[in-house]
Amino acid sequence: MSAKVQVQTTINNEPVEFLCEPRQSLLECLRDIVGLTGAKEGCGDGNCGSCTVRLGDRIVTSCLVLGVEAAGQSITTVEGLAHGNTLHPLQKAFLENAALQCGICTPGFLIAADALLQKHPQPTEEQTRFWLANNLCRCTGYDKIIRAVQAAAHEINANSGAAQ
């Protein structure tokens, strides 16, 4: 066992400090040390996308990032998507479109879809499929997930249009 390292980060807009071993993944740090278990481990090698979080300005599979690499960075997990008690439009759309069955992949899909909508506010079906291709879902066949992301895009755009 090696000496632990102190890591200072911002997680879901709150300053968070944690102590971890250098070998611990960011996913392990989030789940086992910080206590945020929303990001899931489905494979441990970056291929299922269930552990997807936003790190700085990009999304990462947090099982492939070391906790110490997150020092000084800002992290968003599924726990940070809702505003207080108000669900993010993506969360709402996933529920309204029945876009989850077992729900284990849902946190990763939500983070990836959020990143997609920030880059492409009105994505095509092809763009949506491309952006979500690193997130495996074994229950839904993706149909309702794609529809939910498109519905959320519509709602976000309608609301931002109304605000202008």
Give the strands of the sheet with 5-11, arranged side by side: 14-20, 5-11, 74-76, 52-55, 58-61
> What b/e readout covers 52-86, taking b as 16+ CB neighbours within 10 angstroms?
bbbbeeebbbbbebbbbebeebebbbbbbbeeeee
Between residues 110 and 117, which has the closer beta carbon with respect to other proteins?
110
The residue ranges that bind other proteins (CB under 8 A) are 1, 21, 23, 31-32, 35-45, 47-48, 50, 77-79, 81-82, 87, 91, 94-98, 100-107, 110, 125, 128-130, 132-146
Between residues 72 and 119, which has the closer beta carbon with respect to other proteins?
119
Between residues 7 and 30, which has the closer beta carbon with respect to other proteins?
30
Q: CB 5 → other proteins: shortest distance, Å?
A: 15
Between residues 23 and 119, which has the closer beta carbon with respect to other proteins?
23
Whole-angstrom Cα Rg for the chain: 16
Q: CB 47 → other proteins: shortest distance, Å?
A: 4
Q: CB 88 → other proteins: shortest distance, Å?
A: 8
Between residues 9 and 52, which has the closer beta carbon with respect to other proteins?
52
Our CA dihedral for 130, 135, 139, 141, rounded to 10 degrees, sits at 10
The tokens for 101 are 């069955």
Q: CB 98 → other proteins: shortest distance, Å?
A: 4
Q: CB 164 → other proteins: shortest distance, Å?
A: 28
